Amino acid sequence: MASPTAAQTPLCAWNGTSLSCPNQPVPQGPLTPAQPFKALPTPQQRLAELQAQADFDRTLIAARTAQDAKLLKVLEQADGLIAAGSCPDAETLVREKAPTEIATVTSRCAARK
Q: Where are the domains of the chain?
A: 60-113
Residue count of the chain, please give it: 113
Contact (Cβ atoms closer than 8 angstroms) between residue 104 and residue 92: no
What is the pLDDT, as a whole number, of residue 82? 94
Residues whose CB is less than 8 angstroms from the CB of residue 77 and which lie 6 or more positions away in sequence, other chains included: 90, 93
Cα 75 versus chain centre, distance: 29
pTM comes to 0.56
Mean of pLDDT over the chain: 85
Q: How confident is the model at residue 31 (pLDDT cuts 50, 70, 90)?
A: low
Q: Quick: pLDDT tens for 60-84.
A: 999 999 999 999 999 999 999 999 9
More confident residue, 33 or 47: 47
Residue 12 pLDDT > 80: no
